[in-house]
Structure 1
């Protein structure tokens, strides 16, 4: 079968289109904003902004684009908030010709995007790399931020931590890049082993190759530079202490950013920080424990006096969710068996 035919039948592409459709059904629309100076930002924004409801910014991590990482949360959260879900620079349809690669520059662009969309104040949730950006947003724009949630993000990481025997699974940033930006099926499998407490073991090589082709080839050099910028000359003493209420959520078995970094961040921020550790979960808590993560987000972000009057109408049976995940795996296998 030719490459053009494979692109037409790409399961990853089909899944990506489905996720876009699900975002649209949840009341969001795809928007593209020119921030000037060669910077374009894509964002999923409310089709109709409810001025009586607070806003919530969801920031994704390294990996696939925003829809893949936040899909579990859109339906329940849009019942409570005006939800904004941007693609960070060099993900999805967001890009820049500027040379900056730090999380601080990403934060400036995200807030410029919200300004252009008419959003002055918001709470912010960041997942993994997105947690670095969320923290930077809160530090740089305290007057525009209400609450902050940092999920599995080693914001308190120091460059010397890489040398600490036993703290990390790698000894160099190059090794980090080779796994977090996989270019071979074996590296994808290593990534799954690293990010999940209970990784899926049965995934066909053809599916993994398809995922790499669709999701992991574009902007690889720029994404490499984003990762390098996180580690370069990083010192805890240079990290500002944010003044806003912050919730820190971590997977107990996180191997990408060990749990010690969660405790370090809590100590750094002080009494305004609330730490939640999710058991039997690794780095990918948004995939492994979406219900528990969503429950914690809502309990922290929604004003307690309003919670009784705010029902998202969504009750998810954990067993049904497991069955749904199993169904996706069966669909993966069925689809690729037809292509062999």
Structure 2
């Protein structure tokens, strides 16, 4: 039987793209690597929007229902990742970083300097790498059906829930029944198609099987290698389906919030520092890269005077003062003896070793008790104190 996608669907899709003002271009990214793009003919008239596809289809098949509406407001670019559609590579590289590198080079060859990226599923992982490695290129990133990185523990937790042993078993189906299982997992509304339609789709969309399995193997990273980069130059948006069987709303929130705290602190210019108070006693801080004394600000620019503020656990960063976020002893990277008074003494010594001469202390819960002990012990160091220890909020102004 003639394949309906080869003889009918693909030609109709290509004709529709041409009517919408998109033309097809194959770019040689490097020797032996070709990436296929569908590109708006008039690229300078509107903001550039790049649509990144998932693993079960190429670019135009993934986005065919959205492209007509988007071309009204954007210059739309739809690439095929390597080993999808008409893109291929003789390179042995299979990582999302390599896909992002080829995509960035292709966009620059097409004259794109700044763009909005909308990414689905596998495209989300590539989109995050594109935003991380080429921040000047990506203005906004919208991601659906994906997270920043696919860790081994996340894979071990999600795959049994959907009844698969590996991502390749799910995303590189071998039979019509396998393909039906894939569509059952990744679609909410179950539409009926005859078996021959699934077979034709399987023949066209799941070629380059070995390379696609290798892409999925390269996608999973060790937990210790996973981090959320500093996306300070872009706005990042997650579009999450409540009934998503793989990356549902709660799972995405848990992953982003649990792994995003370090990135959040780095975003505001803080870096981890460890201060040894005495042998066997260590305090871990998130602290500014460089402590600037207030009097220097007064000499140069009074409007930018900044005092040092100490956040005693469970508070955020990103406020106007220079922020220091210590881990009390036996929390995070800090360790030693037990009492709040001892915690306070160690914290005071650590701050002085970091160059802090006077500060405002903001403490919450146990941190409020430690802050109170520090204020009692060192009046010169603690200029102001505010705490919430569970018995109401107290604000003290000592030595102001």
TM over 0.5, yes or no?
yes
Aligned to 1:100, the other structure's residue is in SS state: coil
- 1:182 is matched with 173
- 1:35 is matched with 29
Query: Which structure shows the higher helix fraction?
Result: 1
Residue 219 (1) aligns with residue 208 (2): yes
RMSD over aligned CA atoms reads: 2.1
- 1:133 is matched with 126
Aligned counterparts of 1:199 and 1:230: Cα–Cα separation in 2: 28
Q: Which structure would you say has the larger Rg?
A: 2
Deviation per CA, 1:193-221: give whole Å up to 9, x if none: 11122222x322122111111222x2111
Of 22, 44, 48, which residue of structure 2 is paired with 1:50?
A: 44
Of 103, 106, 117, which residue of structure 2 is paired with 1:113?
A: 106
TM-score (norm 2): 0.61
- 2:190 is matched with 199
Matches within 5 A, 1:1-340: 6-7=1-2, 10-11=4-5, 13-51=7-45, 53-164=46-157, 168-170=161-163, 172-173=165-166, 176-200=167-191, 202-216=192-206, 218-235=207-224, 237-243=226-232, 244-264=234-254, 266-267=256-257, 268=260
Quick check: 2:59–2:79 contact (8 Å CA) kept in 1? Answer: yes
How far did residue 46 of structure 1 move? Answer: 1.2
Structure 2: gaps of 5 or more residues: 266-400
How far did residue 242 of structure 1 move? Answer: 1.7
Quick check: 2:151–2:226 contact (8 Å CA) kept in 1? Answer: no
Query: Which structure shows the higher strand fraction?
Result: 2
TM-score (norm 1): 0.71
Aligned counterparts of 1:255 and 1:91: Cα–Cα separation in 2: 24
Q: Answer 1 or 2: higher relative contact order, Cα 8 Å, separation at least 6.
A: 1
Q: 1:162 to 1:133 in 2, by over 3 A?
A: closer
How far did residue 50 of structure 1 move? Answer: 2.6
Structure 1: gaps of 5 or more residues: 1-5, 272-340
How far did residue 166 of structure 1 move? Answer: 8.3
How far did residue 235 of structure 1 move? Answer: 4.5
Aligned counterparts of 2:34 and 2:255: Cα–Cα separation in 1: 32
Quick check: 1:157–1:236 contact (8 Å CA) kept in 2? Answer: no
Quick check: 1:168–1:258 contact (8 Å CA) kept in 2? Answer: no
